[in-house]
């Protein structure tokens, strides 16, 4: 594979949340979802997909604060990137109430110095998002006066796969599986644009066994995922002492054999892939955090998403089970996993 340098950018901020970039207040939860609660995790998952596919990556905005377009454009143009993908979420109307506007839009700028390539990139990503998600398509559009599209020196596309002001699409914003779908299909579009084969995420056969002394892009990917899980380590593609410590601690905290070797079971857990374990009150793991994310996206309140199966999480599980016709025992077994793992859905908009 040729060497490609892929940039990824997320719009707006989380700490603090950018004012106005939010859904209406979500029923059952009593709070809005903010745009960067979708943009940032989707960008991170896109970077992970690019690493898995052998690309070098650049995170344009690693900080949680909203960063000016001028600063981001300056950063991008200093990197000599192969291309840039930005993630956002659309809105329609005042933003204070839900409406029927929905669907996927991709944007490029005719003012970009590589406008034709920007359009081709946007079209490839758009095709994959329409084919790889349940979202309807709205088309590929020329968008003016957006710096990360027109003022950067590489092909650039902006993906907005839904509307914050559409109730069902607002719920999708916090659905980790929808975020993964958008990230993966966007990377697939990038691979098509570059003429490279796409490496599938959920096939564990694509992940090598890694141990002390290993190097390369998959070590970089391993470190990057561990970093997102709260481990403090340098992401350098070298499996050294700190990476060994992080892998071992991750294994211990998730009920795996703590041998410091990243094999199939460790990769499966890092990626939160099936088969998913039976969960009950008292458990702690990345699978509990995933469960909490799914329940929150379906509008079942449970407090903090912290990977700890406490009273509030059990109450949310029982409510979900009761409302979906399952045995309301608060235990997350195969039937509950099957139901909660569906992309989208959840509680309806109150009459």
Q: State pLDDT tens for residues 176-213.
A: 999 999 999 999 999 999 999 999 999 999 999 999 99
pLDDT band at 2 (very low <50, low <70, confident <90, very high): low
- Range 271-277 average pLDDT: 97
Strands (DSSP E) contained in the chain are: 5-10, 56-59, 83-87, 104-108, 137-142, 156-160
Contact indicator for 108, 142 with CB cutoff of 8 Å = yes
Tokens of 223: 């470190």
pLDDT per residue over 34-64, tens digit each?
Answer: 999 999 999 999 999 999 999 999 999 999 9
Cα–Cα–Cα angle for 204, 178, 39, nearest 5°?
110
Q: Which residue has the higher pLDDT, 95 or 295?
A: 295
Spell out the residues 6+ positions from residue 42 whose beta carbon is closer than 8 angstroms to its own.
10, 87, 179, 182, 183
Residue 207's pLDDT is 98
| pTM (whole model) above 0.85 | yes
**For residues 67 and 82, what is the distance between their CA atoms, to the nearest angstrom?**
22
Residue 193's pLDDT is 98
Sorted by where each starts, the structural domains of the chain and their CATH numbers stand as 5-194 (3.40.630.40), 204-270 (1.10.101.10), 286-340 (1.10.101.10)
- Range 287-307 average pLDDT: 97
pLDDT band at 351 (very low <50, low <70, confident <90, very high): confident
pLDDT band at 95 (very low <50, low <70, confident <90, very high): confident
Residue 1 has pLDDT above 60, yes or no: no
Residue 225 has pLDDT above 70, yes or no: yes
Residue 143's pLDDT is 97
Spell out the residues 6+ positions from residue 185 whose beta carbon is closer than 8 angstroms to its own.
125, 128, 129, 131, 132, 133
**For residues 119 and 108, what is the distance between their CA atoms, to the nearest angstrom?**
6
Residue 162's pLDDT is 98
% pLDDT > 70, the chain:
99
């Amino acid at each position: 594979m040729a060497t490609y340098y892929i940039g990824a950018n997320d719009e707006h901020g989380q700490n603090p949340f950018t004012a106005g970039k939010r859904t209406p207040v979500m029923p059952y939860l009593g709070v809005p979802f903010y745009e960067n609660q979708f943009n940032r995790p989707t960008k991170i998952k896109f970077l992970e997909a690019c690493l898995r596919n052998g690309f070098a990556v650049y995170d344009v905005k690693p900080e949680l604060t909203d960063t000016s377009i001028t600063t981001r454009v300056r950063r991008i143009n200093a990197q000599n990137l192969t291309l840039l993908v930005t993630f956002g979420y659309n809105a329609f109307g005042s933003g204070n109430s839900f409406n029927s506007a929905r669907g996927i839009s991709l944007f490029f700028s005719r003012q970009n110095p590589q406008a034709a390539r920007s359009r081709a990139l946007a079209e490839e990503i758009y095709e994959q998002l329409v084919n790889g998600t349940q979202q309807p398509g709205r088309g590929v559009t020329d968008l003016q006066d957006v710096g990360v599209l027109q003022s950067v020196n590489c092909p650039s596309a902006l993906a907005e796969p839904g509307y914050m002001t559409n109730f069902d699409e607002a719920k999708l914003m916090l659905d980790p599986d929808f975020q993964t779908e958008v990230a993966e299909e966007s990377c697939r579009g990038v691979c098509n644009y570059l003429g490279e084969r796409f490496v599938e995420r959920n096939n564990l056969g694509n992940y090598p066994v890694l141990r002390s002394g290993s190097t390369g892009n998959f070590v970089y990917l391993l470190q990057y995922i561990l970093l997102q899980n709260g481990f403090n380590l340098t992401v350098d593609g070298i499996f050294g002492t700190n990476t060994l410590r992080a892998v071992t601690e991750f294994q211990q905290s998730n009920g795996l054999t703590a041998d410091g070797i990243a094999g199939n079971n460790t990769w499966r857990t890092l990626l939160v892939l099936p088969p998913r374990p039976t969960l009950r009150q008292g458990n702690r793991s990345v699978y509990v955090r995933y469960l909490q994310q799914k329940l929150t996206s379906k509008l079942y309140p449970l407090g903090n998403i912290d990977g700890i199966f406490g009273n509030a999480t059990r109450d949310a599980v029982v409510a979900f089970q009761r409302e979906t016709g399952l045995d309301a025992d608060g235990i997350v077994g195969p039937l509950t996993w099957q139901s909660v793992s569906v992309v989208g859905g959840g509680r309806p908009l109150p009459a």
